[in-house]
Structure 1
Amino acid sequence: MTATHTRPWTARELAALDAAFSIILAARTDDGPPPGSVEIGLVVTPDGVFVRAYRGPASGWFQATQTCGQGTIRYDGRTVPVHFQRAAPQDEPAIHDAVDHAYVRKYGAAASGGIATDQARATTVRITPLTAMAPMRHETP
């Protein structure tokens, strides 16, 4: 497995992400470039930048983020290579509560209601910028 080198978000990046209504997320897989991208809402908390799949673990974009752990996000005219890391509810309950509250603050209680379900909480993904995109590994027969 290739080492992942991340860096912290800058204050300017966090402010732009917090102000953005949504991002365009594209996850890479070991098979190469992603088949597509998804526009998705995001939140910023003191613990990082997070997205969730309101449809739960069966969501295609969520599965793709878990396959390789890398991809890109587009926001504010920028494309940033990123690392995706699942934040499991049982491992980080305080983070999940903060993410719930951040979704309500940003999108309102009615619009964010489906994102605080156990199904959606199970797909909480922390997004961290990469210093560089790791090369894809390709196995030869």
Structure 2
Amino acid sequence: MTSWTDTELDRIAAADEIGLASERADGSLRNPVTMWMVRTGDFIYVRSVKGRAGPWFIGAQTRHQGRVRSAGITKDVTLQDADPSVQEAVDAAYRDKYGERYPGIVNHVLTAQSRESTLRLVPR
């Protein structure tokens, strides 16, 4: 398994959004979905506002792989379910990154439903 470089982590964490294109069963990429992402330690996480029932999340479960683009970086990634032990840290990262600018919106990624869809993006 490969990991993010410090430069990649810093650049992606500083960006507001990430484009995530999940892979279909045949390996082709779906259209990218623009979403918020956060860095916690050496990892990048995303969540579905609609939880595990969200269309992009359902599509991502086909192969658990995709491609992300953000801050001039393009990476193929594996989409791993986040360990439940990181949920509080991911919540805090979302609040810190987006809470002041988007106080009415950030709570949508802090619900129990959204937390269940937390994915760690692992470079491959």
Structure 1 length as normaliser, TM-score?
Answer: 0.80
Aligned residues: 121
Counterpart CA distance in 1 for 2:56 and 2:107 is: 20
Counterpart CA distance in 1 for 2:112 and 2:26 is: 30
Q: Deviations over 1:14-39 (max 9, x none)?
A: 10111010011000021331331100
Partner of 1:94: 85
Counting only pairs closer than 5 Å after superposition, residues 1-141 of structure 1 correspond to structure 2 as: 6-46=1-41, 48-87=43-82, 92-108=83-99, 109-130=103-124
Shift of 1:58: 1.3
Contact 1:69-1:83 at 8 Å conserved across structures:
yes
Counterpart CA distance in 1 for 2:60 and 2:40 is: 20
Q: Secondary structure at the match of 1:67?
A: coil
Counterpart CA distance in 1 for 2:109 and 2:53 is: 14
Contact 1:47-1:95 at 8 Å conserved across structures:
no
Contact 2:64-2:80 at 8 Å conserved across structures:
yes
Counterpart CA distance in 1 for 2:42 and 2:110 is: 17
Counterpart CA distance in 1 for 2:32 and 2:6 is: 26
| Letter aligned with residue 95 of structure 2 | V
Q: Which runs of 5+ in 1 are unaligned?
A: 1-5, 131-141
Q: Deviations over 1:9-62 (max 9, x none)?
A: 111011011101001100002133133110000000026110000111111211
Percent of aligned pairs with the same residue? 38
Contact 1:50-1:127 at 8 Å conserved across structures:
yes
Structure 2 length as normaliser, TM-score?
Answer: 0.90
Greater than 2 Å deviation, 4+ residue runs: none
Counterpart CA distance in 1 for 2:105 and 2:11 is: 21
Counterpart CA distance in 1 for 2:51 and 2:87 is: 15
